Amino acid sequence: MKQQTLQIVLLGFFITALALVAFYFAKQPHNVEKNQPNIKAVFIAKHMSTNFYQKYEGSYDEKEENFDKVLPLFQYKGSLIKRIEHSNSCGIQESRFFNKIHLGGTEQKLYNVYTLGGEWCEPYYQSKKALVEVLKDKDGWLLEAYFTVEKDSMGELFIADFTFGEVAGVNLDSLKTYLLEPYYLADENEISPFQLKESLETGDIVKANGRVFLKKSVYIKELQSAISAQQKN
């Protein structure tokens, strides 16, 4: 009788152990996915093409010539679909970028990058050259940061835009320096009064005859060095 009782107890322990092992391995994939680090890439991009996944059929008012392809929204399978349902965006833009200069992160020759379109279905992010930071999505890459890039008279690339925030964990403000020569940015009436006032106070811009010139910005070679140093630490 005691031997039977002992066998039953041991059998109970064995079944419990099997259940715990099964539970552990069943949970592992979820934990690995949850704790997986963000996969990013930073590069100087050349714009190649732009497609648009439209939220409402016929919402373009004959603007289809702005895009290479106009597709129905259901063909997009990425995570932005959750955000577009609760926004006034008229669709999701897919921009194809060629990687001209790789600065950090996952390196590819071409990136299909997705972002929410505006209310009026106007195409974004079509500069000939730009500094781009992207985050890996299940159906491509999501746009994190985008700055137009130009060359000075010595051929050095710099951000030809108001600079703010971070790129690849590097604070852009910490890298601002005087440009070789002022760069025409826009007419004064094309910039918000708040942005104009703040940038004048920081000395990033100057005004002349109703035109605004960029005086300080970030050179790409300095950003590249900062990203490289950060990756080594």
- Residue 174 resides in a domain: no
Given a cut of 60, is residue 122 above it in pLDDT?
yes
- Residue 189 resides in a domain: no
53-58: list long-range contacts, CB under 8 Å, 24+ apart. Answer: 53/91, 53/92, 53/93, 53/94, 54/90, 54/91, 54/121, 55/84, 55/89, 55/90, 55/91, 56/90
By residue range, what is the domain housing residue 87? Answer: 51-163
- Segment 195-223 mean pLDDT: 95
Number of domains in the chain: 1
Given a cut of 60, is residue 8 above it in pLDDT?
no
pLDDT attached to residue 29: 32
**Confidence label for 31 from pLDDT (cuts 50, 70 and 90):** very low
- Residue 57 resides in a domain: yes
Q: Are 64 and 190 in contact (CB under 8 A)?
A: no
- Residue 227 resides in a domain: no
- Residue 157 resides in a domain: yes
pLDDT attached to residue 88: 87
- Residue 177 resides in a domain: no
pLDDT attached to residue 231: 80
Given a cut of 60, is residue 146 above it in pLDDT?
yes
Answer positive or negative: Cα dihedral of 162, 168, 170, 176.
negative
Between 24 and 124, the higher pLDDT residue: 124
Return the number of other C-beta atoms located less than 10 Å from residue 72's C-beta.
Answer: 12
d(CA 194, CA 202): 12
- Residue 39 resides in a domain: no
d(CA 201, CA 203): 5
Q: Are 33 and 17 in contact (CB under 8 A)?
A: no
pLDDT attached to residue 154: 97
- Among 171, 176, 186, residue whose Cα is nearest residue 217: 176
Given a cut of 70, is residue 19 above it in pLDDT?
no
Given a cut of 80, is residue 65 above it in pLDDT?
no
pLDDT attached to residue 64: 59
